[in-house]
Structure formats: structure tokens, C-alpha cells
Amino acid sequence: MINVSIIVTCEEQQPELMRLLPELLSMQYDGEYEVIVVDKIHDKDMAEWLEEMEAHYPHLCHTFCSATARGVDIHRLALTLGAKASAYDWLVIMPANTILPGEDWLNRLTASCGDDVDVVMAGKKHRWYRLILNIFRRRQSIFSPTSSIFLCRQSILLQVEPRISRKRIVRIPL
């Protein structure tokens, strides 16, 4: 089993995060994992709540996008900050309003990872290859809570213009 960093991006979504984090932090996973929350607007109430949560969950950490980050796409910055804060090479990326597809979703998602895979896309059918290119090239916030969960290598996400072969992308149902 691989070790993963789960990056949760949020923006004025404390109720959604309060629902999602306990599920993430108490799930059973065969490998090691950490949860990194990236607050796009730096809400002080959320930061205080996250600090309290971190006292109880050592595999939780949080960061935020600075208010002085003008002229920068805030979602792209959030993903970059989360990726750079990660301890592991594999990243699961999701928004705070994600609805997890069962208890063993992370084991099922990571079972497809190997030396010949860079990206795992799970969820409903969609134009998956275009979606992946948009995530990497534009770092767009294009997730909906029940449509997909995305797993990729940190090195791929941090590339400015990543080139991903379709052969290195796996799509699975969850």
C-alpha cells in the first residue's frame, strides 16, 4: 500500500469541513496518510477550529492562502501549497464538500497505483482526459462533490506544463 497526502481545499466551508474531516481522520487505511487542509481565504474561526483538531489528530495539518496573493489564481495557489506541504508523493485532491464513496474508498483508489501510473481518476463517467489536463494545466476548481476523486503524483502536480500520457492514467469506478 502506498502512503498518501489528502489535500482538502476550502473557502468559507466550515460546516462541510466539519462533516468531512472526522470521516477522513477516522477512516481505516492500510498505508499511512495525512490530511492537509488549505483554507483559500484564511478564516480565523476555521483556523482556530483546525488547530484544536490538530491537537487530537497528529496526521492533520492546515495552511492558508495569504490575502496578499493578488493576481494569482487562488485555487492553483491552494493546490500548490497543499502539494508542497505534503509528506508523501501521492496526493488525493478534494474540495471540502466531497461526499466519500464508502469506508474503503482510499484502499480501492490506491490499489491502482504503481510505477507505471501517474494519475488515478475515480468516480462517474465524464470527459476524464480533458478534466485531468485542465487540473494540471490550469489548476482549475472543477470538482463537484459527488463526481470524482483524483489521485496523482506530487511531482506531476507541481510541474508547470505537465505532459501526461494516457497510458499512465487509470480510471476506476468507486
> If pLDDT is split at 50, 70 and 90, which confidence band does 130 have?
low
pTM for this structure? 0.86
Tally of structural domains, the chain: 1
Q: Has residue 139 got a pLDDT over 50?
A: no
CB contact at 8 A, 19 and 47: no
Q: What b/e sequence results for 76-104 when a residue is b if at least 16 CB atoms lie within 10 Å of its CB, and e otherwise?
A: ebbbbbbbebbebebbbbbbbbbebeeee
Mean pLDDT across the chain: 82
Q: Has residue 164 got a pLDDT over 90?
A: no
Q: What is the pLDDT of residues 37-76, one digit of tens each?
A: 998 887 788 889 999 999 999 999 999 887 776 677 777 7
Q: Please compute the mean of the pLDDT values over residues 85-114 and round it to a whole number.
A: 90
Q: Please compute the mean of the pLDDT values over residues 87-101 and round it to a whole number.
A: 89
Print the domain residue range for 18: 4-172
- Predicted pLDDT of residue 133: 54
Provide CB contacts within 8 A for 167, sequence distance 6+. Answer: 116
DSSP of the chain, one letter per residue?
A: ---EEEEEEESS-HHHHHHHHHHHHT---SS-EEEEEEESS--HHHHHHHHHHHHH-TTEEEEE--TT-TTS-HHHHHHHHHHHH-SSSEEEEEETT----STTHHHHHHTT--TT-SEEEEES-S-HHHHHHHHHHH------TTTEEEEEEHHHHT-SS----GGGEEEE--
Measured over the CA atoms of residue 115, residue 60, residue 38 and residue 97, the dihedral's sign is positive
Could you tell me the CATH number of the domain that includes residue 14?
3.90.550.10
- Predicted pLDDT of residue 144: 45
